[in-house]
Amino acid sequence: MLELVRRIWITFLSVFAVLAVGGCAPLYYLDGKKYQLLLSIVLWSLALICLVVAIIALTNDIKDTRKKDKEAKAPSIYEDHDVLAI
């Protein structure tokens, strides 16, 4: 799951950047058209949704990484003891 989350936030952050810039394009190239503002609003809304998903995935990635680091640094309880000895 951790590898999937790492890929998701990078992908959605890239899609956010593309849609945010793409939302500006209709304002310049569709000058005077009726659907110009509507198209920009739709693209910016999709960009906002992608940004929210990227932020959520990034926070989950950071939490998982910190948890993994804590587990790696934590001393093992059974390190010096032979558990199977009777």
Nearest to 16 by CA among 45, 36, 57, 40: 45
| pLDDT tens readout for residues 7-55 | 888 888 899 999 999 988 888 888 888 888 899 999 999 999 999 999 9
Predicted TM-score (pTM) of this structure: 0.73
Angle at 59 between CA 4 and CA 54, to 5 degrees: 65
62 within a domain of the structure (yes/no): yes
Provide the residue range defining the domain that includes 22. Answer: 2-73
Query: Residue 60: which pLDDT band, with cuts at 50, 70 and 90?
Result: confident
pLDDT of residue 44: 93
80 within a domain of the structure (yes/no): no
Number of domains in the chain: 1
pLDDT of residue 85: 53
Average pLDDT of span 71-82? 66
